Amino acid sequence: MPSLKQIRRRIVSVKSTQQITKAMKMVAASKLRRSQERITAFSAYSEKTTEVVRGLAAQISTDEHPLLLKPEAESKVLVIAISSDRGLCGAFNANVFKRTVAFIDEKQAAGTQVDIVTIGRKVNDLLKRRKASIVEHHTGIFDRLDFAKAASIANQAMDQFLAGEYQGVYVVYNHFVSVINQKMMCDQLLPLAAAPGETKVEETPEGTRLIDFIYEPNRGEILNQLLPQSVRLHVYRALLDSIAAEHAARMSAMDSASTNAKKAIGRLSLQYNRARQAAITKELMEIVSGAESLK
């Protein structure tokens, strides 16, 4: 049985850990609020642009722009895996790793080679141990994230796709749904595709008619500007989602750690009181026994 001194040391140690986890929870909550504000401010523009692009993709021929061109077969694809640079956020990084590995296994089973761009130190370390084909790694990108950083990553992926180096580009990340819910996503970034139900129609007396867009100054110039911008926005939104999901996961993990620390302190305090009571009883018995022996 541990001594009273050892139990006191363990109680002090757990209390110190509890103070740290509580502080980390508060910091994560503050950062999460700011991340949510950034997502809210960006969502309207991002969602409307995505809606317009998907509407265009549903109405135009895939050979009108190279970003819409679907290859006959995927011999080589690129996946952008987004994790965090730091740990202590529950299963956040492990989920990204598992989803990326599942994607690699699925593509390799179909005879497709997979290259990986990692964003965040954690998923990079995990994939390196698995001997994955990592062609590029970004770390520290979340410290001061801005649209320019996301655009740089997206531009490089588009250049490689247009050059024929890859027949598809995908992005794996944690989508922020709520504080207690983060959803793993594996989105196709390139080639751009129309989502089911995105085609716009209107009801007329003659029947249903497809809604077309008016292009100004011309169709080609609009597509050249809008389609690449849509890819950049998608990457930026994925990064914003990942940051918010990371803070939410860390806040939840630190809350659980603080609760567990409280329970541990309760158990150790009970153990300490029992040991102290036993020591006092033993001392009293020794005193009584000594007094009886003197009679």
Strands (E), the chain: 76-82, 113-119, 134-138, 168-178, 181-190, 201-204, 207-210
How far apart are the two ends of the chain, measured CA to CA in Å? Answer: 35
Give the count of alpha carbons within 13 A of 135, CB side only.
16
Question: Catalytic annotation on 186?
Answer: no
Residue 118 contacts residue 81 (beta carbons within 8 Å): yes
Burial 62-87 (b: 16+ CB within 10 A, else e): eeebebbbeeeebebbbbbbbbbbee
Residues 6+ apart with CB under 8 A from 108: 114
Give the distance from CA 160 to its chain's centroid.
Answer: 25
Name the active-site residue from 28, 89, 96, 235: 89
Vertex 157 angle, CA 153 and 162, to 5°: 145
Neighbours of 97 (CB within 10 A): 22
- Report the catalytic residues: 89
